[in-house]
Amino acid sequence: MYPDVRPRRLRTTPAMRRLVAETSLEPRHLVLPMFVADGLDAPREIPSMPGVYQHTPDSLPAAATAAVEAGVGGLMLFGVPRAEDKDARGSGGTDPDGVLNRALRDLRAELGDATVLMADTCLDEFTDHGHCGVLGASGEVDNDATLERYAEMAVAQAEAGAHLLGPSGMMDGQVASIRAALDAAGHQDVGQIAYSAKYASAFYGPFRDAVGSSLEGDRRTYQQDPANRREALREVDLDLAEGADVVMVKPAMAYLDVLREVADRSDVPVAAYQISGEYAMITAAAQNGWIDREAAILESLTSIRRAGADIVLTYWAAEVAGRLS
């Protein structure tokens, strides 16, 4: 027995640390969320997310192509309609000529199968009340009426060229209802990266700027309570049973414990979304000179991978992919 145990031997040189690193971060692990907006003359920087832009339909393809050339694993697209194009049912989300569906069609024509094209399958960007679904008589979000809208939206996005759909509204049964609609329309090959455990988070604040959200109030009747861990596992089990192809935990950094448990029990790939507020916090601290920006970004992404994410959605995807390759 040798009592002089020294773990530091494996930390002596950069080459030694590289040899024994348990977690890796590669460009293919990173997915870039992108915003495409109608009614802008030029790309518009999102004030609460410096460095992230709402693209115009014209500026989007070059930015998407640059990200793909940097090596990202995929793109996740969000549409931002004009305020006057929003309505109670979120019609812009199902309209083949709505801003998101047009952009998907353009990007698929431009990029083909060179990347994995994903779309946010949710109504909140398109509804005038800002909720993720349609409202019932007493103003509540009507789960089953919303499922019908998601089914229509999913088919429209598949027809526009999305490879993977991202249902993010946390309605019960959304994965099964989208699966059935896709299959009935002949889109058996289009899959779902399901936002399975999505929490009602204060860290979504900057995103609501990014999509010009009309929401007043909150999403606590459909998104999960941050206090709950077991409930996330139940949501994941349901989504797996309903046919999810990838399951997601969101946000990432405040929910790494949940991410680890999901990764341990999922038999499909697991994604985590490093959301707008996470981006804004690191960016703001770096702008103040309070943290080392590049190091903090890499450390945050590595921690999300270490907690079990196969795939990380991050607004830094293109930048970091470029740096890694």
Binding to ligand PBG by residue 276, rule CB under 6 A?
yes
Among 23, 18, 17, 21, which residue's Cα sits nearest to residue 303? 23
Is residue 86 annotated as part of the catalytic site, yes or no? Answer: no
Is residue 250 annotated as part of the catalytic site, yes or no? Answer: yes
Q: Do residues 115 and 104 touch, judged by C-beta distance below 8 A?
A: no
Closest distance of CB 124 from ligand PBG, Å: 5
Q: Which of 102, 198, 219, 305 is catalytic?
A: 198
Give the gyration radius of the chain's Cα atoms.
20
Q: Stretches 86-94, 120-128, 149-157, 234-242: which one binds ligand PBG (CB under 6 A)?
A: 120-128
Residues 215-274 interacting with ligand PBG (rule: CB under 6 A): 219
Q: Stretches 12-20, 118-126, 173-181, 231-239: which one binds ligand PBG (CB under 6 A)?
A: 118-126
Number of Cβ within a 10 Å radius of residue 234? 13
Q: Pick between residue 122 and residue 190 the one whose CB is nearest to ligand PBG.
A: 122
Binding to ligand PBG by residue 275, rule CB under 6 A?
yes
Q: Using N-to-C axis directions, what is the helix angle for 293-306 and 317-324, rounded to 10°?
A: 90
The residue from 38, 95, 106, 124 that contacts ligand PBG (CB under 6 A) is: 124
Q: Which of 250, 253, 271, 276 is catalytic?
A: 250
Helix, coil or strand: residue 175: helix
Could you give the dihedral angle defined by the CA atoms of residues 283, 284, 290 and 293, in that order, rounded to the nearest 10 degrees? Answer: 10
Q: Pick between residue 161 and residue 169 the one whose CB is nearest to ligand PBG.
A: 169
Q: Pick between residue 16 and residue 202 the one whose CB is nearest to ligand PBG.
A: 202
Binding to ligand PBG by residue 168, rule CB under 6 A?
yes
Binding to ligand PBG by residue 120, rule CB under 6 A?
yes
Q: Which residue is listed with tokens 């998407």?
A: 64
Q: Beta partners for 118?
A: 76, 164
Specify burial of residue 173 (Cβ count, 10 A radius: 0-12, 13-18, 19+).
Answer: middle
Residues that bind ligand PBG (CB under 6 A): 120, 122, 124, 132, 168, 204, 207, 219, 275-276
